[in-house]
Amino acid sequence: MSEPIKQERVYSGIGVSPGVARGTIFVYNVAEEVVPNYDITPEQVPQEIARFEQALIVTHQQLHELQQRIATGIGPAAPTSILDVHLSITQDPALIEPVITRLNQEKKNVEFIFNEVTRKYVKTLAELPDEFLRERAMDVQDVTRRILRNLLGRETRTLHNLPLNTIIIAYDLSPSDTSSLDRQHIVGFATDVGSHTSHTAILARSMNLPAIVGLRDASQHLRTGDMAILDGYGGSLIIFPSEQTFSIYGELEVKHHTIEERLAALRDQPAVTLDGHRITLAGNIESPDDIPMLKKGGAEGVGLFRTEFLYLNRKEFPNEQEQYEKYVRVAHDVKPHAVIIRTLDLGGDKFHSAEEAPTEINPFLGCRAIRFCLARPDIFKTQLRAILRASAEGNVKIMYPMISGVAELIRANEILDEVMADLRREKISFDENVQVGAMLEVPSAALTAETMANEVDFFSIGSNDLIQYTMAVDRVNEKVANLYEPTHPAILRLIRNCVEAAHNNNIWIGVCGEIAGDPLYIPLLVGMGIDELSLAPTSLPRIKDVVRRLTMSEAQELAVAALHATRGREVTAMLTALLQRIDPDLLA
């Protein structure tokens, strides 16, 4: 029987790490571990606890070695802080104590108890409303699987000893999987799930490995040994590419290499339009270890320092000194530029602490971000003290998340004033003129921005949540994701309202959501009057290139036309036409 003709097929996803890879596919399936379930005697409990403790120690050592390999293999810009979270999980009382408690209560083998506890642990994190935090469930799952394998005495999975020019295809890859990739043999990877902000995507960019996420169920249909081209720019995976396709991608690689060289040359150039209008381009970070990447991209400081990671996977809240050391390190390293530190953007349901917060029916609309901080001023004040102490560096700004109205803003500032008064009494230095800003990410804030502008020094539009809340769309829900539309007339009117409120009151306004890092939307944001854009460091050169090829006058004309449009796709068409004219390479 003759072999079927191998026709070219294309799978579409999201390109999260640029580059083109050619090679053969290796489908990486992660089988669930078979976990035994048997009774033990009360006398065996101490022995089971000792086995558990040894597995935690071994896992911690493995992760530390892996962290060292990342730093050695990738270099000083390596995001080794990714595994700091993993290391902390191996010492997390919220994970360890329930296992020991249930061992004593249920008298079952430790593998079974541990597996039951971690399933609940991961499920809780995966159901959080914040997409960025939901993706951290993968980190927890990665570590707990490693602990489980050590308990079972099974070898840690690796992606070594694969043929040259291998393209990994998987449902998902954990940070450990990605970190252990043999970069001499593996040329790229693609996963069914994931996003730009997943740790796997971050590591791929750091390792300069072309990568695609969001291929849905491609791993179920592909076979090891299939020939493929992986396009990390456009997010396409081409199986059995034709000679013509090979030729097209050969030309594409040469073209993109030329573009990357051109963009790299812009690193130290200002983001100024052709007619002299200046835009500030800053970077989003989550750890001091992200600063080298920030500088490599040519950022003018930190527009969003997420502080949530200091609070996750631990029983006790981080103390003032621990927070201060992180904040002051970033402030020192980005001088003379500024760092905007966002106060805690979590909710009570997201803490694995001794005090169990009640499960909320709808955490998206629950006690989170500034609401949680105002409900727990003790936690809020500790963070504000740490930030204010770091502000003695002279370049720190404070930003409150998820403000819904002026009352919350006034109360937050009252607490800030109380903390300042305490520091003065204690003769502790801080910046008396520290700037304070509010994130506008719910419709009520965007609609009443005029009433809040007198209470702050700046606004920053959190476009991801603003779009999500305005459109009543969970953007990671495939059934309604098509309704998540940044160019919807409602969104544009809300942004215009925020800009007018800011400028009428002589304060500046930025955007720190995903649209700030997408070249397509830059002319619109510039034309609407946005003063600052904060984005992923890797996207900075592309955005700077668009700004420098644009005139403020044409951006303003486009913004006026966009605000008169009745459908989002009309605006998208305008933006595409403009970008095609001024910077067609980036559009391609």
Local structure of residue 168 (DSSP, 8 states): E
Residue type, 236: S
Q: What is the CA 215 to chain-centroid distance, rounded?
A: 19
Within a 10 A sphere around the Cβ of 319, how many other Cβ atoms? 10
Beta bridge partners of 439: 460
Number of CB atoms found within 10 A of residue 435's CB: 18
How far is Cα of residue 310 from the mean position of the Cα atoms in its chain? 15
Can you state the percent helix, strand and coil of the chain, rounding each to 5?
50, 15, 35
What does DSSP say about strands 396-400 and 435-440: parallel, antiparallel, or unpaired? parallel
Report whether 390 contacts 331 (CB < 8 A). yes
Cβ atoms of 159 and 126 closer than 8 Å: no
Question: Residues 6 or more apart from 308 whose CB is under 8 A from it?
Answer: 133, 286, 344, 345, 346
**Which pair of structure tokens corresponds to residue 434?**
């520290």
Write the CA distances from 567 to 127, 170, 530, integer angstroms. Answer: 33, 37, 22
Only one residue has tokens 């990994």, namely: 168
Q: One of 196, 256, 488, 512 is an active-site residue; which one?
A: 512
Distance CA 54, CA 212 (A): 37
Rg (CA), the chain: 25
Cβ(172)–Cβ(193) below 8 Å: yes
Q: Active site residue: 60, 86, 196, 199, which one?
A: 199
Distance of alpha carbon 230 from alpha carbon 235, whole angstroms: 8
In one-letter notation, the amino acid at residue 156 is T
DSSP conformation letters of 98-119? HHHHHHHHH-B-HHHHHHHHHH
Q: Which two tokens stand for residue 153?
A: 């005495």
Measured between alpha carbons, how far is 402 from 551 in angstroms, rounded to an integer?
Answer: 33
H runs (alpha helix) in 426-528: 443-447, 449-452, 463-471, 489-504, 522-527
Q: Bridge-partner residues for 458, per DSSP?
A: 437, 508
Other C-beta atoms within 10 Å of 349: how many? 19
Name the E strands within 2-156. 9-12, 14-17, 20-28
- Is residue 373 flagged as an active site residue? no
Taking the mean position of all CA atoms in its chain, how far away is CA 461?
17
Task: Return the structure tokens found at 553.
Answer: 């006058």
d(Cα 78, Cα 17) in Å, to the nearest integer? Answer: 15
d(CA 463, CA 284): 14
d(CA 121, CA 341): 29
DSSP assigned state of 31 = P
Which run of H or of E encompasses 508? strand 508-511
24 DSSP β-pair partners: 166, 227
199 is catalytic: yes
Catalytic residue set: 199, 512
